[in-house]
């Protein structure tokens, strides 16, 4: 990792979807779209039903995030419940293990 103030978090979300629906992560950091759904980070379905994406975030930082689904027509569905939270430390290689709620 080139930036000494950054680290990586791989978001893993287990979620079932219908054809044409994708899963995204969005959150309180600029690298997570700053809660703007149009800037949400698309997750890969390569290991469906687990959706994943590595995102570069600041080291030693607490942040909030949530997953959403967007269908082929652009309709957005937020997962239920409160926002999720995560805190990075000073190392690298963090991973979440979340399930759609």
Query: Is position 56 within any domain?
Result: yes
C-alpha closest to that of 68 among 7, 6, 9, 11: 11
Query: Is pLDDT above 90 for 94?
Result: yes
Other beta carbons within 10 Å of 29:
19
Mean pLDDT of 6-30: 97
Q: Which domain holds residue 50?
A: 6-96
What is the domain count for the chain?
A: 1
Burial 61-92 (b: 16+ CB within 10 A, else e): eebebbbbbbeeeeeeeebeeeebebebeeee
The pLDDT value given to residue 4: 79
The pLDDT > 70 percentage for the chain reads 98
**CATH number of 35's domain:** 2.60.40.10
Q: In degrees rounded to 5, what are phi and psi of residue 32?
A: -110, 20
Query: Is position 29 within any domain?
Result: yes
The pLDDT value given to residue 1: 43
Query: Is position 101 within any domain?
Result: no
Please state the pTM of the whole predicted model.
0.94
Query: Is position 16 within any domain?
Result: yes
Kindly report, residue by residue over 27-59, the tens digit of the pLDDT: 999 999 999 999 999 999 999 999 999 999 999
The pLDDT value given to residue 55: 97
Query: Is position 1 within any domain?
Result: no
């Amino acid at each position: 990792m080139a930036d000494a103030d950054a680290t990586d978090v791989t978001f893993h979300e287990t979620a079932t979807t219908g054809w044409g629906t994708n899963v995204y992560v969005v959150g309180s950091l600029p690298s997570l779209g700053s809660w703007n759904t149009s800037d949400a980070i698309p997750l890969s379905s390569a290991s469906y039903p687990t959706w994943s994406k590595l995102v570069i975030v600041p080291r030693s930082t607490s942040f909030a995030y949530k997953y959403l689904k967007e269908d082929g027509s652009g309709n957005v569905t937020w997962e239920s419940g409160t926002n999720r939270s995560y805190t990075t430390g000073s190392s690298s290689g963090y991973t979440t293990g979340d399930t759609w709620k």
